[in-house]
A and B are shown apart, each in its own frame.
Chain A
Amino acid sequence: MELSDRDLALVSAIGDGLPLVERPYLAIGEAVGMSEIEVIARIQAMKEAGIIRRFGIIVRHHELGFRANAMSVWDIPDDKVSEIGRRLGDSPEVTLCYRRPRRLPDWPYNLFCMVHGRDRPGVEQAIKDLIQRHGLDGHGHAVLFSTRRFKQTGARYGRRKAAE
């Protein structure tokens, strides 16, 4: 799906979330010069095309009580990383899971999983369970707890076009 300039204006308008009113798509349409029906159709099309992964409530996980988050990383041989990544990604403890490049010598790890929990011991236990269940004991591993969050705005799109 190719996004038109009209789509980008809509992308920008909904980026901060829907207005909390009875007919939010009508309100958005008024802001960008579209009918309510067009707004609904275009958002649905973007969702079906996968441009919108999910449309709903985005929480602040820290405020929701998920005070501990760890980036749990492994050094997995390249010919095994996809299979292990898929298995870890299917695990309920894991909230995000990606393969990324190593940056030697500072960074030897190529598999990244985020694990969120209410407290640090809970997250540590969840990671131990993952290691045991998936037989990851022999692989290089590090756990990077976050100690401070400086910024959490989410990605913003559509502003460039909207501003032109």
Chain B
Amino acid sequence: MDDIDRRIINTFQGGFPIAERPFAAAARTLGLDEAELIARVKALSEAGTISRFGPMWHAEKMGGGLTLTAMKVPEDRFDEVAAIVNSFPEVAHNYAREHALNMWFVVATERPERIREVLDEIEARTGLAVHDMPKIEEFFVGLRFEA
């Protein structure tokens, strides 16, 4: 990754043209040409640095459900429980964390009522409690990273 790649990442995390030739318009702001920008974005995607070039959704405005949940998983069952949790397409990400509540995952569903169903199914299949911690108030959701 060189300086141009870093500028691409830093510039277009904030936004990307929604127009007929978006890469051409975007390339001009960086002094590149369209083909070079497309090639570099492809390379960054293939390297796994970029997850995708597209939308970050607002779950509630989409009409969907979203929550953060935590479980207290015995160490010797960790992989087995992780496999069950991750098998749900509604589980968007899942992290092991250092705490008695040691598994933390986000559940995103197209219908709000599906959240409870997913958590009930996970509880039934693992025999473990799932703590549901939906947001009450949102203060910041920037989530941008300087390359």
Report A's interface with B, CB cutoff 8 A. Answer: 1, 3, 11, 14-18, 20-26, 36, 40, 43-44, 46-47, 49-61, 63-66, 69, 71, 81-82, 85-86, 88-90, 94-101, 103, 106-107, 110, 112, 114, 116, 142, 144-160
Question: Does the CB pair A86–B22 fall under 8 Å?
Answer: no
**Inter-subunit contact B20/A40 (CB<8 Å):** yes
Q: How far is the CA of A85 from the CA of B136 in the complex (A)?
A: 11
By a CB distance below 8 angstroms, the chain B residues around A95 are 140, 142-145
Is the contact region of chain B dominated by helix, strand, or loop, or is it mixed?
A: mixed
Interface size on B, residues (CB 8 A): 76
Per a CB cutoff under 8 Å, which of B70, B105, B139, B140 touches A107? B70
Contact B142 A147 (CB under 8 A): no
Q: Is the CB of B8 within 8 A of A24?
A: no
Asked if B99 CB lies within 8 Å of chain A CBs, one says yes
- Given that A56-B14, A56-B15 are known contacts, is A16 also in contact with B52, CB under 8 Å in the complex? yes
Contact B58 A53 (CB under 8 A): yes
Q: B20: which of A1, A23, A145 is its contact (CB, 8 Å)?
A: A23
Q: Which of A22, A54, A145, A160 has the most CB of B within 10 A?
A: A54
Complex contact A51–B62 (CB within 8 A) = yes
- Contact assessment for A58 and B38 in the assembled complex, using a CB-CB cutoff below 8 Å: no
A57 touching B9 in the complex, CB below 8 Å, given contacts A18-B53, A157-B57: yes
The complex places the Cα of A112 from the Cα of B67 at a distance, in Å, of 13
CB–CB A52/B58 < 8 A = yes
* B131 near A144: Cβ-Cβ < 8 Å: no
